[in-house]
């Protein structure tokens, strides 16, 4: 678990670092927009991957504008069947951040399930994984979710604990996604513990992948 944010935020630059931000389906997905923007402003290269459910809350074009890169939405590339996106992107990343991390993606990773883009990227990770959970307080407190959280923590997945307060379901309790500043501080401290990988940056700029096509996984 992480410690509360200090009074003096970490302002170190992130030039040369590559961050893969996986956005999952929850109302707190809007907070990921601020995290992506702040990382880019610090000099990090940021690639965003979205689950299919996440696109119901925030459009891929928003993350494309904030990151300056194509947003990853699918494992499948009919126009380039030879491109293995999840291997290329996870190999280049210095860190993977999952925010918001839903009970679904937490359970998938704990069980070793890889059945869509985000879960497959996590299974093929070649860098530290940070997960920022966000869900209803009863879901967060469920014994199976807590078991999965402990299992992931035991396998070096760093959990950025949720806060307590007013939730989208109109209840009050634990489960709110950590504030963007707290998430950013954890990302910075994790990244700067090691130098950037000597891997060329992905060239994923241009139209958001999957835009204008239907029937894709996400």
- Contact between 100 and 32 under an 8 Å Cβ cutoff? The reply is yes
> Can you tell me the distance from the alpha carbon of 211 to that of 195, in angstroms, rounded to the nearest whole number?
35
Q: Which helix (H) or strand (E) holds 173?
A: strand 172-176
Alpha-carbon distance of 76 to 66, in angstroms, equals 24
Q: Which of 113, 114, 126, 169 is catalytic?
A: 169
Residue 169 appears among annotated catalytic residues: yes
Q: What is the largest CA-CA distance in the chain?
A: 49
Per the DSSP assignment, residues forming a β-bridge with 131 are 98, 159
CA 142 to CA 104: how far, in whole Å? 13
Going by DSSP bridges, is the β-strand pair 172-176/163-166 parallel, antiparallel, or unpaired?
antiparallel
Supply the residues annotated as catalytic.
169
């Amino acid at each position: 678990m992480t410690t509360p944010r200090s009074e003096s935020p970490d302002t170190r630059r992130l030039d040369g670092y590559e961050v893969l931000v996986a956005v999952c389906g929850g109302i707190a997905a809007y907070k990921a927009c601020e995290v992506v923007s702040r990382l880019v402003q610090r000099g990090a290269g940021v690639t965003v991957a979205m689950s299919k459910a996440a696109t119901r809350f925030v459009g891929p074009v928003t993350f494309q504008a904030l990151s300056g890169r194509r947003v990853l939405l699918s494992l499948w590339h009919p126009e380039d069947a030879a491109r293995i996106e999840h291997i290329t992107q996870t190999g280049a990343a210095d860190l993977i951040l999952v925010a918001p991390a839903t009970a679904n993606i937490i359970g998938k990773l704990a069980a070793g399930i890889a059945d869509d883009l985000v879960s497959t990227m996590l299974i093929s990770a070649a860098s530290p994984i940070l997960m920022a959970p966000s869900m209803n307080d009863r879901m967060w407190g469920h014994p199976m979710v807590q078991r999965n959280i402990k299992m992931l923590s035991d396998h070096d997945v760093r959990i950025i604990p949720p806060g307590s307060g007013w939730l989208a379901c109109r209840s009050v309790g634990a489960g709110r996604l950590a504030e963007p500043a707290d998430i950013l501080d954890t990302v910075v401290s994790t990244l700067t513990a090691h130098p950037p990988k000597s891997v060329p940056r992905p060239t994923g700029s241009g139209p958001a992948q999957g835009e204008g096509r239907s029937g894709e996984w996400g």
